[in-house]
A and B are shown apart, each in its own frame.
Chain A
Amino acid sequence: MSTATPIVKGRHGRSRASRRLWSVLGFLVTVVTTFLGLLAITFFIGRVVPIDPALAIVGDRAPAHVVERVREELGLNLPLWQQFFIYLKQALTGDFGTSVLTTHPVMEDIKRVFPATVELATVGTIIGAMFGVPLGVLAAVKRGSLIDQLVRLIGLIGYSVPIFWLGLLSLVFFYAKLQWVAFPGRIDIVYEYTFTPVTGFFLIDAIMQGEWEIFWDVFRHIILPASLLGYVSLAYISRMTRSFMLNELSQEYVIAARAKGLSEARIIWFHALRNAAVPLITVIALSYASLLEGSVLTETIFSWPGLGLYITNSLQNADMNAVLGGTIIIGAVFIGINVLSDILYRLLDPRTSR
């Protein structure tokens, strides 16, 4: 008994600061192991699954001495764990090998194409949240009404539609028939050589340089693919918003706010939504991450020169270095966004921030 007491005390008496330190450490360990796991899986896919990665690179008609040289260069004759170690070291320094297709280092390629994807996914998420959150709130407030049913239907279709098909149809309609939008690519060929991007985000670059004509052109290029991605995230965001809002609107503090004489609008859009916003941030972050993924198919349809198109082009040419490099980057961004949403959650909810 007497020996047990100090231990118990030590556990519970641990100061707030050190408990916080431990939780931060645990969090870091999680992030790091997840990232290492990501690399392990891509290593496995790249080196173990194919029967002979060297053949995969040079093609099966290459002469035997070429294959052997590539095997030597790749270190394929070393034991597996040594190969993984080398792979790890290279990946952590941003070296994903050279792309067969472009003959550039994969990292260089990715740096060039990634901003296009980020810009597309960002505009898509903005569209999705801009319409998804209000629709979800309306559906929750008017639960069971026609609006609610309509929002549900819009969401269900968004969950069920093949995005590349919807993209093709929307091209037929908005580009070919109505000629409202531009296609393909990010920017008209006329501007391609006069316009020098600084940040890589064309919308921002055009504004910074005061090139309104170019801004309009870039906008006409991005609006359709971004709306498409936005629709997919709207389906998710509106559904989650509805469910969070239903939960908040049934809370006692809503009755108290009514008893104070606040208007319904203030109760819904300020009190309840502010509380729903805490979990909503996570939802929006997750949907942003999934748009990076959705961009793989969308970019193919719209010839959008981003990471998705880079990956699919490499796939078609069996360019494994490029495919795996792209996969690692998307996976890493996924992890990063999860970390970010976790931090945002803590900042937004006073119950966890102090």
Chain B
Amino acid sequence: MTLLTVDNLKVTFPTRTGRVEAVRGVSFTLGKERLGIVGESGSGKSQTGRAIMGLTPSQAEITADTLQFSGLDLLKISPRERRTLRGKRVAMILQDPKYSLNPVMTIGRQIVETLKTHEALSMKEARQRALAMLEAVQIRDPERVFDLYPHEVSGGMGQRAMIAMMLVCGPELLIADEPTSALDVTVQLDVLKILDKLVAERGMGLIFISHDLRLVSSFCDRVLVMYAGKVVEELPSADLRNAKHPYTKGLLNCLPTIGSDRHPLPVLERQAEWRL
């Protein structure tokens, strides 16, 4: 079953020096699976995610032949309907919990807020659900964490709280935009495991946006490689070694393998014709 259909998506920003196309015709479909989007910074991967969420800055222009989420035409429905989707049926995890959680609200209140926005329930029920969700992201002492402020918890704990806040309403599609890049390496794996388990248990579709090809290929079923606002290659994670596009090969070559000679260090090539 197709959850999301994206066909020829374009995101254009007007600037003083002219129009800048951040996303230039991206197409893909997504079922209940894990799709990774990889690319360097400025490749348009984050803007693709934001366009699906409907979080593109208002001055930007979005066009697409199709942008459909479970039968809904996202470009046709009203901003209000779009908003009720967010947090309820599609959700997004941002990079750094230090900045993406409101610093003056307790973690518990922020989770409860998501619930109260989309469901009519009492404060007591909401609290129970939030505590259960905190437990689901493997926070050992949910009662205590519920009343903590974001600056009082570690980065890994904060990102778990972020996941709890976004998944508490049980969305069908989750967009994770560099969810582990700001975390310590040791914590990264914990958070990924939690994410992995939740996605599997709840049968969500996942778009995992990252610059880290190795991470994405180990975590996702399929990988889109983006360069300069376009998809240059799409392939199953298992077939990564058979990548055809030179940019993908370049990205793969950047990964060090133990035991091999690293001299000279490979340099990522960027050729003008890939932009076309």
Q: A-side interface residues toward B, CB under 8 Å?
A: 251-253, 255-263, 271, 274-275, 278, 348-351, 354
Complex CA distance for A253 and B91, rounded to whole angstroms: 14
- Least distance between B208 CB and chain A CB atoms (Å): 16
Count contacts between A and B, CB distance < 8 Å.
74
Which residue in chain B gives the minimum CB-CB distance to A272?
B102
Knowing A261-B86, A262-B113, A351-B151, the reply to whether A274 touches B104 (Cβ < 8 A) is yes
Q: Is B117 a contact partner of A262 (Cβ separation < 8 A)?
A: yes
Q: List 16 A-B contacts (CB under 8 A).
A: A252-B95, A253-B103, A259-B53, A259-B86, A259-B91, A260-B86, A260-B114, A260-B117, A261-B83, A261-B85, A262-B113, A271-B102, A275-B102, A275-B104, A350-B151, A351-B103
Q: Is B102 a contact partner of A350 (Cβ separation < 8 A)?
A: no
Q: Is A259 a contact partner of B55 (Cβ separation < 8 A)?
A: yes
Knowing A255-B55, A255-B94, A351-B151, the reply to whether A260 touches B166 (Cβ < 8 A) is yes
- Least distance between A349 CB and chain B CB atoms (Å): 7
B88 interface residue per 8 A CB criterion: yes
Contacts of B100 in A (CB 8 A): 252-253, 255-256
Q: Is A256 a contact partner of B101 (Cβ separation < 8 A)?
A: yes
Q: Is A251 a contact partner of B99 (Cβ separation < 8 A)?
A: yes
Contacts of A350 in B (CB 8 A): 103-104, 149, 151
Q: Is B94 a contact partner of A261 (Cβ separation < 8 A)?
A: no
Q: Is B152 a contact partner of A354 (Cβ separation < 8 A)?
A: yes
- Least distance between A346 CB and chain B CB atoms (Å): 13
Complex CA distance for A244 and B158, rounded to whole angstroms: 25
Which residue in chain B gives the minimum CB-CB distance to A277?
B104
B134 interface residue per 8 A CB criterion: no
Knowing A255-B55, A350-B149, A350-B151, the reply to whether A260 touches B104 (Cβ < 8 A) is no
Complex CA distance for A262 and B149, rounded to whole angstroms: 20
Contacts of B103 in A (CB 8 A): 253, 275, 350-351
B84 interface residue per 8 A CB criterion: yes
Q: Is A260 a contact partner of B87 (Cβ separation < 8 A)?
A: yes
Determine which of B84, B87, B96 lies in contact with A252 in the assembled complex, contact meaning CB atoms within 8 Å.
B96
Which residue in chain B gives the minimum CB-CB distance to A260?
B87
Q: Is B118 a contact partner of A261 (Cβ separation < 8 A)?
A: yes
B74 interface residue per 8 A CB criterion: no
Complex CA distance for A255 and B84, rounded to whole angstroms: 15
Q: Is A256 a contact partner of B104 (Cβ separation < 8 A)?
A: no
Complex CA distance for A348 and B149, rounded to whole angstroms: 13
Contacts of B22 in A (CB 8 A): none
- Name which of A260, A262, A274 has the most chain B CB atoms within 10 A of its CB: A260
Which residue in chain B gives the minimum CB-CB distance to A275?
B104
Complex CA distance for A278 and B103, rounded to whole angstroms: 11
Which residue in chain A gives the minimum CB-CB distance to B88?
A261
Knowing A263-B83, A350-B149, A350-B151, the reply to whether A257 touches B92 (Cβ < 8 A) is no
Within 77-111 of B, Cβ neighbours of A (below 8 Å) are at 83-88, 91-92, 94-96, 99-105
Which residue in chain A gives the minimum CB-CB distance to B151?
A351
Which residue in chain A gives the minimum CB-CB distance to B79?
A264
- Least distance between A253 CB and chain B CB atoms (Å): 5
Q: Is B55 a contact partner of A253 (Cβ separation < 8 A)?
A: no
Contacts of A255 in B (CB 8 A): 55, 94, 100
Determine which of A256, A271, A348, A354 lies in contact with B162 in the assembled complex, contact meaning CB atoms within 8 Å.
A256
Complex CA distance for A274 and B95, rounded to whole angstroms: 23
- Least distance between A258 CB and chain B CB atoms (Å): 5
Determine which of B84, B151, B152 lies in contact with A261 in the assembled complex, contact meaning CB atoms within 8 Å.
B84
Smallest CB-CB A-B distances: 10 pairs: A261-B87, A261-B86, A252-B99, A260-B87, A259-B92, A252-B100, A350-B149, A256-B100, A253-B102, A260-B114
- Least distance between B90 CB and chain A CB atoms (Å): 9
Contacts of A260 in B (CB 8 A): 86-87, 91, 113-114, 117, 165-166
Contacts of B166 in A (CB 8 A): 259-260
Complex CA distance for A179 and B110, rounded to whole angstroms: 52
Which residue in chain A gives the minimum CB-CB distance to B162?
A256
Contacts of B105 in A (CB 8 A): 271, 274
- Least distance between B49 CB and chain A CB atoms (Å): 10
Complex CA distance for A142 and B102, rounded to whole angstroms: 22
